[in-house]
């Protein structure tokens, strides 16, 4: 199995679920994106979900795959832009169109 380290214990607790997650993990990690790009995208998603431990781990993995601190910083800026923008757009629902 190719489960990430934080999911390895799933193998003994629920082997059937571990196998299914492993299949999904392999499927998500195959394709045209290189490992560094996939790791930066995953880091941005963890950042957007408030998973600080994941951000730390993935930033270190990205560095190991050749990502510079500038690339990591830009990835996090984009995550903030989208996450912050979502809050702005959602907040605009409090003000119906045409009313100021």
DSSP string spanning 19-63?
Answer: HHHHHHHHHHT-SSS-HHHHHHHHHHHHHHTT-HHHHHHHHHHHH
pTM of the model: 0.81
The helix, strand and coil proportions of the chain, stated in percent and rounded to the nearest 5, come to 75, 0, 25
* Position 76 confidence tier, pLDDT thresholds 50, 70, 90: very high
Residue 63 confidence (pLDDT) above 80: yes
Q: Has residue 55 got a pLDDT over 90?
A: yes
Domain spans of the chain, in order of start: 34-95
> How remote is the C-alpha of 46 from its chain's centroid?
4
Are 65 and 43 within 8 A, CB to CB? no
């Amino acid at each position: 199995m190719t489960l990430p380290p934080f999911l390895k214990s799933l193998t003994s607790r629920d082997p059937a679920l571990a196998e299914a997650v492993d299949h999904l993990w392999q499927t998500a990690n195959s394709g045209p994106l290189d490992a560094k790009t996939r790791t930066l995208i995953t880091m941005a998603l963890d950042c957007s979900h408030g998973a600080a431990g994941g951000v730390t781990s993935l930033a270190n993995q990205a560095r190991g795959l050749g990502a510079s601190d500038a690339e990591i910083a830009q990835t996090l800026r984009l995550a903030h832009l989208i996450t912050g923008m979502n809050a702005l757009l959602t907040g605009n629902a409090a003000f119906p169109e045409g009313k100021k």
